[in-house]
Amino acid sequence: MRSCGDCKESDSSEEEFDNEISEVGISEVRKLNEKYGVGSETVSKELPKFHFLYRKRTWNPSEKCYLGWERKRGLICEFNQFLVEGINPFKINTIPKEFVRQS
């Protein structure tokens, strides 16, 4: 199970509230893993059940604003790129690198 936050469109690539969203997302995922995830003694050996991903904003000329690239399809493409190629396109990603295929 994963949680992904898609950034709100903006006139700039970063907003002050991005940090707050990220902190809350990471905190909630941590709580979910403590409650429903693997035991604390095996966390380092097993992939946690819950993760938080928060995408970067990129300039969209047709929308004339910064937003997550390709709203829906882009998220899937970026997630697959991360899993298959080990390239992390996300602003925040709590999936441990040791569980991702290394190219």
Tell me the β-bridge partners of 76. none
Residue 1 has pLDDT above 50, yes or no: no
Mean residue pLDDT of the chain comes to 80
Domain boundaries, given as residue ranges, for the chain: 3-99
Q: What is the pLDDT of residue 100?
A: 74
Q: Is 15 exposed, middle or buried (0-12, 13-18, 19+ CB in 10 A)?
A: middle
Question: Is the separation of the CB atoms in 96 and 51 below 8 Å?
Answer: no
Predicted local confidence at residue 44, as pLDDT: 52
Tell which wins on pLDDT, 58 or 37: 58
Among candidates 83, 85, 88, 87, which has minimal Cα distance to 99? 83
| Residue 7 to residue 53: CA distance in whole angstroms | 10
State CA 50 to chain mean position distance. Answer: 11
Please state which of the ranges 8-12, 32-36, 73-77, 86-90 shows the lowest mean pLDDT. Answer: 8-12
40, pLDDT greater than 60 = no
